[in-house]
Amino acid sequence: MNAILRPSGRTPAQMREVRIERGYTRHAEGSVLVSFGGTRVLCTASVENRVPGFLRGKGEGWVTAEYGMLPRATHSRSDREAARGKQGGRTLEIQRLIGRALRACIDRGALGERTITLDCDVLQADGGTRTAAITGAYVALVDAVRWLRARKEINKDPIFGAVAAVSVGVYRGVPVLDLDYAEDSDCDTDMNVVMNDGGGFIELQGTAEGHAFRRDELDALLALAEQGIGELLAAQRAALENT
CB of 214 to a copy of itself, least distance (A): 6
Residue 128, marked binder: yes
| Closest approach of a copy of itself to the CB of residue 5, in Å | 23
Q: Which residues of 177-207 are buried (b: 16+ CB within 10 A; e: fewer)?
A: bbbbbebbeebbbbbbbbbbbeeeebbeebe
Give 52's contacts (C-beta < 8 A, 6+ positions apart). Answer: 62, 64, 115
How many Cβ atoms are within 10 Å of 55's Cβ, its own excluded? 15
DSSP classification of residue 54: G
Task: Residue 119: name the closest of 203, 36, 27 by CA.
Answer: 27
Closest distance between a copy of itself and the C-beta of residue 1, in Å? 27
Residue 79 beta carbon to a copy of itself: minimum distance, rounded to whole angstroms: 9
Sign of the alpha-carbon torsion through 146, 65, 105, 113: positive
User: How far is residue 120's CA from residue 127's CA, in Å, rounded to a whole number?
Assistant: 15
* Closer Cβ to a copy of itself, 3 or 107, answer by number: 107
Q: Given the complex with a copy of itself, which of 14 and 74 has the nearer CB atom?
A: 74
Binding site for a copy of itself (CB under 8 A): 25-28, 31, 38, 40, 42, 44, 46, 48, 66, 68, 70-77, 80-83, 85-93, 95-96, 100, 104, 117, 119, 121, 123-126, 191, 195-196, 198-208, 211-215, 218, 222
**Least distance to a copy of itself from the beta carbon of 164, Å?**
12
Q: Which residues make Cβ contacts (< 8 Å) with residue 152, sequence separation at least 6?
A: none
174-177 and 201-208 strand pairing: unpaired
Q: Would you say 2 or 160 has its CB closer to a copy of itself?
A: 160
Tell me whether residue 90 is annotated as binding.
yes
Detail the residues annotated as belonging to a binding site: 90, 128-130
Q: Which segments are annotated as binding site for phosphate?
A: 90, 128-130
